[in-house]
Amino acid sequence: MSDSRIYTAALIVIGDEILSGRTHDKNIAQIASWTQVQGIRLSEVRVVPDVLERIVEAVNALREGYDYLFTTGGIGPTHDDITVDAVAAALGVDVIVHPEARAILEQYYADKPGGLTEARLRMARVPEGGELIPNRMSGAPGIKLGNIHLMAGVPHITAGMLDALTGTLEGGTPLVDETIGCWTAESEVADILRQVEKAHEKCQIGSYPFFREGKVGANFVIRSTDRDELGSAVDTLCDALATAGFDFTPGGI
């Protein structure tokens, strides 16, 4: 029997570098893929600048509407790292130096030039009540506080933090999906897609057009929490495409 409750998450990507176009965000896709495997559906993302009020506003807008809230960015040692202060302000709690985080940083910087400087000690600051999320890449931990998870901005550090969280968040039945690709304009297949989705109400079908090698094509992604329904919808779509004379590629193009 499957758990029919849908667990949801929101993500706040914090950083001027994303909004200036300087850095291409990789955390949205990374966290989306990870939550999906945990049976949690990423349902909204907001990208906001390194401005305290804007982060506070986003945290307060999202922390109650979803089961989980993630943030990426702004937990480093420099003056533009203000995520901890913003989350503390949003929750109305103080910022404290977490003893365990301080111990981790003391050890991490023991053999590095300068040792645990005041700037580095900033990375031990947590909103009061926060627990640590291990960071095996670079010492400074992430923070978990209620349903809020503060992660790094650097994608490979966030990847390590997600590893540490794997299996610790309650989720529902994961969405599964199958992809069918066609070297054809999606507009030619639109009616078929609509009919197949209508006939399989436990499935959603997305159509993702592309242009490659001088030709148009599209991938059709069918998603469901029910594997049997998914399989049935895939069969229906393949039959319909074959009947209409379209070449298609199971697995996608």
φ and ψ of 219, to 5 deg:
-105, 135
Residues numbered 72 to 101 that lie near a second copy (CB under 8 A) are: 76-80
* 8-27: contacts with a second copy (CB under 8 A): 13, 15-26
Count Cβ atoms within 10 A of the Cβ of residue 32 and give its class: 0-12 exposed, 13-18 middle, 19 or more buried.
middle
Report, in Å, the least distance between residue 240 CB and a second copy.
14
Nearer to a second copy, 127 or 160 (CB): 160
Smallest gap, in angstroms, from Cβ of residue 93 to a second copy? 24
Contacts of 7 (CB under 8 A, 6+ apart): 39, 40, 41, 67, 68, 170, 171, 172
Asked if residue 43 lies in contact with residue 57, where contact means CB atoms within 8 angstroms, the answer is no
Quote the distance between the C-alpha of residue 164 and its chain's center. Answer: 15
Nearer to a second copy, 49 or 129 (CB): 49
CB nearer a second copy, residue 1 or residue 110: 110
Q: Report, in Å, the least distance between residue 195 CB and a second copy.
A: 9
Beta-carbon neighbour count of residue 148 at 10 Å? 20
Contacts of 117 (CB under 8 A, 6+ apart): 109
Neighbours of 2 (CB within 10 A): 11
Footprint of a second copy on residues 205-224 (CB under 8 A)? 205-211, 216, 221, 223
**CB 15 within 8 Å of CB 50:** yes
Cβ proximity to a second copy, 26 vs 102, nearer residue: 26
Of 168, 170, 133, 166, nearest in space to 149 by CA: 133
- Which part of the chain contacts a second copy (CB under 8 A), choosing from 82-90, 92-100, 107-115, 163-171? 107-115
Q: How far is the CB of 231 from a second copy (least distance, A)?
A: 19
188 touches a second copy (CB under 8 A): yes
Q: Please report how close the Cβ of residue 129 comes to a second copy at its closest, in angstroms.
A: 25
Output the smallest distance, CB 24 to a second copy, in A.
5
Using the rule CB under 8 A, which residue among 6, 46, 173, 253 binds a second copy? 46
| 8-state DSSP, 141 | -
Q: Which of 197, 224, 233, 240 binds a second copy (CB under 8 A)?
A: 197
